[in-house]
Structure 1
């Protein structure tokens, strides 16, 4: 996008990428233009929008959360969200989901404020600027990931309408004006992209991306209903220490307006995500802010009180920290060059966080348990991401392929067959050719002077067959795990033998 100057159409190389809207691409392009350049292979400018979105989402959760729970609960809830495993992971990636979470908070926060004020909670009356912020956030959420936040919003409103037998309070948010605002945010780009693609964007986004995910498991990312519920303690860790007790207490108090709103935010959308066959852990991320507020609110309400089942769940929760510590030790042995010295402080920090949290939980110091677990757990995850993960060469297939190309001079044209990960193009440059199969790679390396062919194992036979009597030299053999697809990968780098 930065290289071409085309900020309307979304492309991956020469192929139109009509799957997701343009929002995240605009943010990343702006970051690159501000802090880097199109030709740089520095990844941090592309990740910066995600990191900033996490901070913004956390701050907004505190701001709006004060209207739904106590100020102390809002502050602790923001901390629970900021230190949760999934949020930390998403904040370190150049993806849409951290930004989507921020737009979810920016949308649902004002909605909750209007709701609890209408139901008699002693909070300041939200003005029209709050309503305008709600509609602007909803519009931008559509530019980020299409129907996700509107779905969460719609299911929340339907649930509240059923529970309260009406939605009269929602009129104060001026929905007619709001729809105009949303149209003003989304409309110009939507009209432009459909004009530029002759209507292909909406057709492909719905027909080739959205509907296949709703009707079946796409890209090997399937799962059974209930999977998100099973994974929630892991991806909400360490804040999941009080997850089940908080949800149980919330259900008991579901008639209280703040609790009713938070449950309406969580439950119907969670069920919808569970029923969708395609499953990835980050799909439920827009619901995590509401969970964080419920957990924090429970911590203060139950301060000084405990019970056997809370302690029992605490012990089970401790196994997650133990597993994280084990992963910090085992991952370099399995996917790296061997034992990493950084594994020790990472593992010890995870164990210490779990131990201190459980020590505070036992006498009923719930808030302290969340604070100690959150700070220690976040530090452990950051140590793993910054010191342990970079040494896992078996997972860094694209990086190793780029290094192999660089060893040959780095300026030769490269054709890749069978392995078309965006990270490969990012590291090798947009001049990289993503060809259709081994035969096309053979044709390219044969006809292009000095060209290289990067061939994935499944395309090896077709590549060899198409070469015929043309001799090539194998320059590198790269084996690893494509973690995004969960499949082993073997890449071989070839060059035509000169004069043969």
Structure 2
């Protein structure tokens, strides 16, 4: 249930596509964490101040997530206590160890999660030699039942059914025909829009996208696989990572971000292994894999700065790449804390890459420059319409009633009627369209040159309108 609330909030965050998105996710995580612990008075007061300030700044929506998190936390805690009672009734040794722990501690005899964990661990140590260890069929069946499938299905329906009904009624079922029929079934059977891939596509792309965790995660994953019958937590992480991987490899349409939701499982495996293992050395093959990922990632800022001839970014790109290469090479220079040093260097690299570097890089994009020019036209009192929209991000900044024209015929009729409207189009679309119309009737009032990163080249956008004398 806790996971259901978190992913529901994450889905809302994705739908918002704005600055409120991290607030949805952050407040959900904080709420789920906060209601699982005992609060001190100053902590409760500080949290109240933060929540009140957030509600005043963002709106009352911010208070809904902690409220739902509190309810789910209470239900999950009650469910955990009930399941614990069943387990302890079947395992009296665990209760005896738990009693010892309660006597030696200064807390009341109410068992906490940590004490129960150690009680189970002590009971495992007390298992007689030759007695069967690991997850038997009874234990596996009990763990599957503990997921509380009926309650989970109910929560899922409460979250999704109202939205599904509204979407069905608003689109007469067209949304689901496209979302399920095309984007699930058709994408699984054929590589749509040319997005195909080779076998092992997601593991290869993870060399860069999951750097610096992949090499360590492979080592941790092999260790967890050997111990999978005795470590259900690691078994869950393996299922989280490998289940989607196998499924997505069977899907014919492949995009690098499809497997991204499994990356947290890889990272948790890696961090858990780093915290618990005594020998943190990696095999030579995994060291080379780590070096390959770091080298490829270090090339990312340099390639666009030189290919697109951006003089102001060449030196920062070179410095960024050197920083990551040094952090990556550190893994083979020392055996102490080398993985953590590589992680720290990578985080610093990414913070600089997504901070000052990309902010300056994005200023050269045609989309951002065109959006700024369109906003300038609006400030002058003109209406703005788009023809053959190529930069969808403009729609997030322009008024909701902004018109988008897709065909030359529709554009031609609107140009005659709308005298106070400024139209925006790519220059090649403008010339292609008005090669069949009377181009003398229209004038170009502004030209914007910038970088089209998706097509890997410089391009030009024009703003034009009908001539006043025609």
Structure 2 residue 455 is matched with structure 1 residue 481: no
Question: How does 1:48-447 map onto structure 2 within 5 Å?
Answer: 48-50=20-22, 53=25, 167-257=141-231, 258-304=233-279, 306=281, 309-310=283-284, 312-335=285-308, 337-340=310-313, 341-359=315-333, 362-363=334-335, 365=336, 368-393=337-362, 396-408=365-377, 410=379, 411-447=381-417
CA contact (8 A) 2:294 2:324 kept: yes
1:242, distance to aligned residue in structure 2 (A): 1.4
Task: Kindly provide the CA deviation profile for residues 12-53 of structure 1, in whole angstroms up to 9, marking residues without a partner as x.
Answer: xxxxxxxxx997685478x8xxxxxxxxxxx8xx14424763
CA contact (8 A) 1:416 1:454 kept: yes
Specify the SS of the correspondent of 1:402.
helix
The match for 1:16 is none
CA contact (8 A) 1:393 1:400 kept: no
CA contact (8 A) 1:332 1:388 kept: no
1:439, distance to aligned residue in structure 2 (A): 3.7
Residue among 449, 468, 471 paired with 2:438 = 468
CA contact (8 A) 1:457 1:490 kept: yes
1:272, distance to aligned residue in structure 2 (A): 0.5
2:225 and 2:438 mapped to 1: Cα distance?
69
- Decide which moves more: 187-196 or 165-174: 165-174
Structure 2 residue 465 is matched with structure 1 residue 459: no
TM-score by length of 2: 0.67
The match for 1:38 is none
1:228, distance to aligned residue in structure 2 (A): 0.5
CA contact (8 A) 1:332 1:391 kept: no
CA contact (8 A) 2:298 2:322 kept: yes
1:55 and 1:338 mapped to 2: Cα distance?
41
Give the aligned length.
381
1:162 and 1:458 mapped to 2: Cα distance?
67
Q: Which has the larger radius of gyration?
A: 2
Task: Kindly provide the CA deviation profile for residues 304-361 of structure 1, in whole angstroms up to 9, marking residues without a partner as x.
Answer: 3536x34x432442233333333323433334631325335433432332233443xx
- Judging changes above 3 Å, is the alpha-carbon distance between structure 1 residues 415 and 313 closer, same or farther for their aligned structure 2 residues? same
- Judging changes above 3 Å, is the alpha-carbon distance between structure 1 residues 162 and 210 closer, same or farther for their aligned structure 2 residues? farther
TM-score by length of 1: 0.64
Superposition RMSD in Å: 4.3
Specify the SS of the correspondent of 1:167.
helix
CA contact (8 A) 1:335 1:394 kept: no
- Judging changes above 3 Å, is the alpha-carbon distance between structure 1 residues 254 and 163 closer, same or farther for their aligned structure 2 residues? farther
1:179, distance to aligned residue in structure 2 (A): 1.9
1:476, distance to aligned residue in structure 2 (A): 0.7
1:187, distance to aligned residue in structure 2 (A): 1.9
1:294 and 1:400 mapped to 2: Cα distance?
43
- Judging changes above 3 Å, is the alpha-carbon distance between structure 1 residues 252 and 24 closer, same or farther for their aligned structure 2 residues? closer
1:454, distance to aligned residue in structure 2 (A): 2.0
Q: Which has the higher contact order (CA 8 A, sep 6+)?
A: 1
Structure 1 moving runs of 4+ over 4 Å: 21-29, 54-61, 116-126, 161-166, 406-410, 485-490
CA contact (8 A) 1:194 1:201 kept: yes
1:409 and 1:185 mapped to 2: Cα distance?
40
2:236 and 2:28 mapped to 1: Cα distance?
22
Task: Kindly provide the CA deviation profile for residues 213-265 of structure 1, in whole angstroms up to 9, marking residues without a partner as x.
Answer: 22223344332231101011211112224133223323333333333332222
Specify the SS of the correspondent of 1:342.
helix
1:191, distance to aligned residue in structure 2 (A): 2.1
Task: Kindly provide the CA deviation profile for residues 130-178 of structure 1, in whole angstroms up to 9, marking residues without a partner as x.
Answer: xxxxxxxxxxxxxxxxxxxxxxxxxxxxxxx999996343223332233
1:461, distance to aligned residue in structure 2 (A): 5.0
CA contact (8 A) 2:419 2:465 kept: no
